Amino acid sequence: MTQAKPLTDDERIQRIVQLFKEAKSGSYSTVASRLREVRELVHEEIAERLSKPLNEHLAQIPHATLHEKQDLARFANAEMRCLGVAIRCPKTGLPAMLHANSGHDATKGRFQFSVIDHKPHPTRTVTSQTLPMLVLMPHFTRKEPLVDYWAKTLGHSQPGGKRR
């Protein structure tokens, strides 16, 4: 099975318009399927268009100290989250967030990529003393971090489940 060639910007936008037109009527599953494809295409477009300006903006924010690195990481993660994108981890290719911790130098700190995998302990991959170039990717599916824990604790097998 061959993988489809990625769409150009113009092709992606044309496909979004086409899907919106087609989603005006039809069964729930047909309309929802088309709108899910729209969402995926829009987030691909956002990731592509945001990468360069975000990297340029972050480079202008002070990040020499640990505290500055932490502030920068919080800002970057909030911006990416609200736009439905994440960093593509250069090691795993998975969606990741930017973190800052003390590492071996508590005053300067370091940046780390943390894969968004919803495990109890974050999977940290790449570490850098300097601000790394962020390559963005769509990441619009968000799972609340403690949803499985509380569902299990309260005995819910699914949303709206009953306590045991």
pLDDT, tens only, 48-100: 999 999 999 999 999 999 999 999 999 999 999 999 999 999 999 999 999 99
pTM of this structure: 0.77
Please tell me whether residue 150 adopts helix, strand or coil conformation: helix
Q: Helices 28-60 and 9-22, interaxial angle, to 10°?
A: 150
* Block residue for tokens 């824990």: 149
Mean pLDDT of the chain: 87
Q: Of the candidates 82, 76, 59, which has an alpha carbon nearest to the alpha carbon of residue 130?
A: 59
Taking only the tens place, the pLDDT of each residue in 3-40 is 577 788 889 999 999 998 898 889 999 999 999 999 99
- Retrieve residue 116's tokens: 């968004």
Q: Of the candidates 92, 105, 74, which has an alpha carbon nearest to the alpha carbon of residue 137?
A: 92
